[in-house]
Amino acid sequence: MRTPDISSPVRAEFRVFVPRSASPDALSAFLADEILRGQSAILVSADNRFRPDVLVQRSREAGQPAENVLSRLHLSRAFTIHQLRETVSDRVEPALLRSRATLVVVTGILPLFSDESVDAREAFRVLELLRTDLERLPRHGCRVLVPVVLPLPPSRRARNLFLRLHGPPLPEGED
């Protein structure tokens, strides 16, 4: 599975990856650890699985007020493919400039775009536009991470979306 290298200094990049854990706690813990290291982050959640209580717990464990950690995380939610694209294309860049965030995480892309009630051609068209928008963000000096949680929804469309977004999966055990 591909995972982000979080031990190295911040470097601008765009990465779609399969996380080692599909747990919402793992994402929230990752964000808390990044913020506790002094980073600011933007989370665009299209799956509504973020757990702010994990950030509060991690900040307490680190002896920091929860407000310090929570104030360095900027959260936006999207419920449709068009809301997600609009949020990324119109709102994330200004938020990056205001907040000086060094990390942007966009979750839930695959389930949102796999929704069978959305015309397939429209979903693929908007996905291509979204990917272009996301690939532009690192020019502001941030990392853009897009976790794609497995298993994929059991449809051909989901597999095709995954391949367009991520590329072919690596054999088990490779990073």
Please tell me whether the overall predicted TM-score, pTM, comes out greater than 0.75 for this model. yes
Q: What is the pLDDT of residue 33?
A: 92
19-31: b (≥16 Cβ within 10 Å) or e: beeeebeebbbbb
What pLDDT score does 7 carry?
A: 40
Q: Quote the pLDDT of residue 12.
A: 84
What are the structural domain ranges in the chain?
13-165
| Whole-number pLDDT of residue 166 | 83
Say whether domain 13-165 belongs to CATH 3.20.10.10: no
pLDDT less than 50: residues of the chain: 1-9, 170, 173-175
For residue 120, the model assigns a pLDDT of: 93
Task: Supply the pLDDT for residue 174.
Answer: 42
How many CA atoms lie within 13 Å of 16's alpha carbon, on the beta-carbon side? 21
- What's residue 173's pLDDT? 45
